């Protein structure tokens, strides 16, 4: 659950969690409800959720896009980082996940500030283009499509807008040369191209935050 937070040092993890209290009762309930409904436990770790909230707040985001809703754990955190006028557009392929997320957003008091698009994110993203430009795009869905999502972000963020891409160390396999499993290979290649575009594609000034999973952070400069 901690996804290697704090260099895997249990003393650091314990210290940070006691001090920053990343998961309150509402987020805890979201996580437990996801488990009850049989959703995969692949939401961001609690400290990564706090990173999302604080980064959203730091950039003053009012319009945020999330690709990969799952049960709403990260979405609630992004919404918490926005002012009461802030709006989240979130994209989810699986109807059951979207259903759980809808309930999560309602329970957290965000029902009227979120739109969930059910289906392929690539197919649905054009529907919100006219609501842009956006302040934040959080990418956390199918890894092989990350490069396309980044391209969409480059076209639809304001200058100074931020992309956050989760899992960009590819579960420790980002530098692996030979990957046996075809699905994993597609994911790793997608993540590698995404990081390459973020770092050297000319549209963003970027870094990769060394969370357990790797969180690429790219600011649109061009």
Residues 44-63 that bind ligand SAH (CB under 6 A): 44
Establish if 141 lies at the interface with ligand SAH (CB under 6 A): yes
Establish if 120 lies at the interface with ligand SAH (CB under 6 A): yes
Q: Which string of DSSP letters, residue by residue, matches 45-56?
A: PHHHHHHHHHHH
Q: Residue 189, Cα to own-chain centre: how many angstroms?
A: 19
SS3 assignment, position 38: coil
Write down the least CB distance from residue 52 to Mg ion, Å.
11
Stretch 99-138: interaction string toward Mg ion, x if CB under 5 A: ----------------------------------------
Of residues 92, 135, 140, 142, which one binds Mg ion by CB under 5 A? 140
Could you say which of ligand SAH, Mg ion, none residue 167 binds, taking C-beta under 5 to 8 angstroms by partner kind? Mg ion
C-alpha span between 127 and 136 (Å, rounded) = 17
Of residues 5, 89, 91, 146, which one binds ligand SAH by CB under 6 A? 91
Q: Is the dihedral of CA 78, 64, 81, 199 positive or negative?
A: positive
C-alpha span between 51 and 138 (Å, rounded) = 12
- The residue ranges that bind Mg ion (CB under 5 A) are 140, 166-167
């Amino acid at each position: 659950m901690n996804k290697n937070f704090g260099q895997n040092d249990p003393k650091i993890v314990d210290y940070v969690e006691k001090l920053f209290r990343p998961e309150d009762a509402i987020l805890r309930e979201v996580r437990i409800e996801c488990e009850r409904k049989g959703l995969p436990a692949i939401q961001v770790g609690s400290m990564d959720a706090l990173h999302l909230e604080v980064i959203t707040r730091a950039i003053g985001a009012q319009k945020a896009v999330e690709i990969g809703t799952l049960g709403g754990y990260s979405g609630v955190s992004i919404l918490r980082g926005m002012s009461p006028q802030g709006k989240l557009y979130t994209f989810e392929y699986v109807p059951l996940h979207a259903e759980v997320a809808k309930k999560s957003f309602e329970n957290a008091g965000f029902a009227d500030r979120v739109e969930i698009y059910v289906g392929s994110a690539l197919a649905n993203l054009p529907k919100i283009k006219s609501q842009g430009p956006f302040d934040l795009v959080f990418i956390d869905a199918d890894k092989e499509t990350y490069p396309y999502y980044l391209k969409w972000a480059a076209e639809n963020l304001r200058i100074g807008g931020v992309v956050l891409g989760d899992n960009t160390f590819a579960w420790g396999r980002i530098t692996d040369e030979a990957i046996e499993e075809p699905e994993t290979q597609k994911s790793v290649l997608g993540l590698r191209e995404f990081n390459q575009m973020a770092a050297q594609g000319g549209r963003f000034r970027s870094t990769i935050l060394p969370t357990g999973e790797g969180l690429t952070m790219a600011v649109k400069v061009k």
